[in-house]
Structure 1
């Protein structure tokens, strides 16, 4: 396999902890194999999903990055929820503090390799004893701290609006962007995941244009969370929207490895190839 020409900063997801074995990540298993697969397919970066901030030494990540000449696009914090059951909006104060500590340590870890951290599932939700107003106050406090901590490493922090089946906090890009502005939360960008947007947005391209200045990362997935080009999403207007807003971040494949990891990786890059000279 060889590198395909692309004007985009492409990335592919690598997950190393077994609790997320059924998750939407292209390569599962060891980092050594994942890095080698990523570079063989022609990606320019990897997006890492690790068990926690102490799961892998920083030096190992740096060595693999140098060896394969791959950037680290981002580091996910999903293990905080999937593996450790932590949420920033947990009704228990002790659990919320554990969640904030986990996130803080992930930011320090990722910062040392020059990468932003993603907040997705750990944002939690409102309900029961936790009102929406209270949940958003706790989320705002955590994002203020996360943005400030990430700024120490000159990287942004990434907040991901999820679909309605995963959170009831923010599901749409423009509404999340307006709230970040209202709360004066700095150094926090939005992660625009096309799978979630397929569920929640009336028009994905228009949503990207509206939230343009806030968009900091893209998860490139088709409507059914498989590789782009296997579902019913039209990538052309999305690429046009990204060009319109001057997006210069990574386009990363956070997708199910179907029919297998190599096929998903190849199809991801193939879906971008038609736009290489447009």
Structure 2
């Protein structure tokens, strides 16, 4: 029987992976850098979150970009101490872009707020020795476009602060998000075109998200391979936006694709962000989490991912 289109693409990934194992066994010497995005832990104290992650073998954390004003967000000294005391390193910072700080807005006060926010978070990321700041070209939670000039305004805004990325060495990681949540930049192809249009040295990377890729991409593993060195962070959750292994995500081929692009190197991260089912996960940012439930979420995800990775790379 004739294979389905996605099965044909699967075979291409499988063949390339098998060839890599034979020709370059050294490519599997290092494991993928496993991080965790902590904004889903809500108002839980950072120290509790860090201790949980270390307990289950996570060495990197993606910090919530919570510097919404000059008096808000993680204190640099306190944060460094918590991280140092627990042997935790920072992968990057998850930039949070709403209608209040929207580079594509038709209100200049909101665009200015986005620029001020990016400057604060880039500087914070650099202080934490983080590798990237996640940047969303338009507000998350606003899927309806204001007009047809949103990309023009967004590009213009990001160019203004692009030199901050270049000077600090922090990567601007553009995240494509599903059309149900944002008005522009829904796919990797659109993110690449956006980056090309910005045309600044500090803006050249992509932050993928498997949940958004389920609706935005034709074939997730092939999209990863095509992204190559542009991919610097990959958010992960299963098809139900819960722990890895709780849905029907083809995690094995995603892992294969990551090894095919040499993703098991410094500055590249696999970062679970299981926010749970539903159309609006963002209230979790302000809530009080159930510690035992968070423990189970982290434990299940880490165990399942490392198990699949070990089986594939053996």
* Alpha-carbon offset, residue 50 of structure 1: 4.4
Contact 1:12 1:26 in 2 (8 A): no
- Give the Cα–Cα distance (whole angstroms) in 1 for the partners of residues 179 and 232 of structure 2: 21
* Alpha-carbon offset, residue 186 of structure 1: 2.8
Contact 1:88 1:139 in 2 (8 A): yes
From the CA coordinates, give the structure whose radius of gyration is larger: 2
- Give the Cα–Cα distance (whole angstroms) in 2 for the partners of residues 10 and 86 of structure 1: 29
The correspondence of residues 222-233 of structure 1 with structure 2, limited to 5 A, is 222-233=238-249
Unaligned runs of 5+ in 1: 1-5, 16-24
Change (3 A) 1:184 1:92: same
* Alpha-carbon offset, residue 29 of structure 1: 0.6
* Alpha-carbon offset, residue 86 of structure 1: 2.2
- Give the Cα–Cα distance (whole angstroms) in 2 for the partners of residues 163 and 126 of structure 1: 9
Matched, 1:10 2:34: yes
Change (3 A) 1:10 1:262: same
Aligned to 2:103: 88
Larger relative helix fraction? 2
Change (3 A) 1:126 1:178: same
Change (3 A) 1:240 1:146: farther
Matched, 1:59 2:77: yes
Unaligned runs of 5+ in 2: 1-29, 278-291
Deviations 1:104-148 (A, max 9, x none): 1111122111222212385466856x433x211122123334442
Aligned to 1:266: 299
The correspondence of residues 123-162 of structure 1 with structure 2, limited to 5 A, is 123=139, 130-132=146-148, 134-162=149-177
Deviations 1:213-237 (A, max 9, x none): 2111011211111111111111111
The correspondence of residues 112-131 of structure 1 with structure 2, limited to 5 A, is 112-115=127-130, 116-120=132-136, 123=139, 130-131=146-147
Change (3 A) 1:136 1:50: closer
- Give the Cα–Cα distance (whole angstroms) in 1 for the partners of residues 122 and 197 of structure 2: 24
Q: Structure 1 length normalisation: TM-score?
A: 0.85
Aligned length: 260
Contact 1:88 1:99 in 2 (8 A): yes
Q: CA RMSD in A?
A: 2.4
Aligned to 1:206: 222
Aligned to 1:217: 233
Q: Which runs of 4+ in 1 moved over 2 A?
A: 120-128, 141-148, 185-188, 256-259
Corresponding residue SS for 1:29: coil
* Alpha-carbon offset, residue 66 of structure 1: 1.1
Change (3 A) 1:87 1:244: same
**Among 114, 125, 142, which residue is 1:99 paired with?**
114
- Give the Cα–Cα distance (whole angstroms) in 1 for the partners of residues 198 and 74 of structure 2: 35
* Alpha-carbon offset, residue 245 of structure 1: 1.2
